Amino acid sequence: MKVACIGEAMIEISMSDEKTNLGVAGDTLNTAVYLKRSAPEMDVDYITRLGSDPFSAKITEFIKDQGLGTTAIEISEDRHPGLYAITTSSSGERSFTYWRSQSAAKQLFQSSSGPNFEYLDIYDALYLSGITLAILPDKMRTALLGYLRQSGQTLAFDSNYRPALWSSPSKARDLMQKYWKRADIALPSMDDEMLLWGQSEEEIIDRFSALDSDGALKRGAAGPLSLSPVDQKNLNFAPSAKVVDTTAAGDSFNGAYLAARLTGATQEHALMAGHRCASHVVQYPGAIVPHPADEA
């Protein structure tokens, strides 16, 4: 199984009262890291576009250190990575400040002859998010959807809605719905869908049930709701023992869930694996928590 996670890798500044940490993160990169950790035997590549600057080199080094493939990373000579800062409240809720106007990832898949998706052909499964789509130009979003509709690869998708990245909610809703219809594995979050659609929980559940996709609707501490037929009565989604920072809670769930599903595990196992991973991640600051081997 060869998987590609596609999106934007950024420099992350996490701030607290005591210190400021410099790291590397991004929603689909976070998922790639937890996917690889959950299924070490799987080939997982990260696909993005970076610059030729020292920060881009730091990002590439980080990706390699996480055991992810970097051969498909594109390089721009006149752009650099985006940057964001996290501030966290006493309850663990986070807010973000972004600097990404010149992000090289906005030019992902662009070539002198137009959109180029040929190097995606080697993968069995692809994962991308609404943030991946939001940073791309309209024509590239449409071209990518056309490629995906013709490809036979498994597509996993998470809307990860960030209002500031879209020209309007209606634009985001229209495009997201097209990608949901193509997705084989849907990984939406209740909060994102309520924000984007203004719907109740029941309406959101009905909408995703109608798609007839595999996947899970993430609901934070309440635990995921299966989008595939399964008896959840015997599943115990215990809340995390403590919550320090909810950054990457959904991304880490996606990684562990996908690792289970793509390696043939049952839906029940995948739901529990995703919830356990997310419950662990929120106990640490930042998007990428220490590797278990480093804590031993």
- Residue 124 known to be catalytic: no
Strands, E assignment, 7-69: 10-15, 20-25, 43-47, 49-50
- For 212, which DSSP code? T
* Helix pair 267-281, 249-262: axis angle to 10 deg: 150
| Structural contact between residues 267 and 284, judged by C-beta atoms closer than 8 angstroms | no
**6: enclosing H helix or E strand:** strand 2-6
Q: Output the six-digit token pair for 164.
A: 């500031």
**CB distance 3 to 127 below 8 Å:** yes
What is the amino acid identity at position 191?
A: D
Matching residue, tokens 């990518």: 144
Residue 295 near residue 254 (C-beta atoms within 8 A)? no
Residue among 17, 78, 251, 294 flagged as catalytic: 251
Q: Position 142: which residue type?
A: T
Q: What is the DSSP letter of 175?
A: H
Bridge partner list, 217: 225
Residues catalogued as catalytic: 251
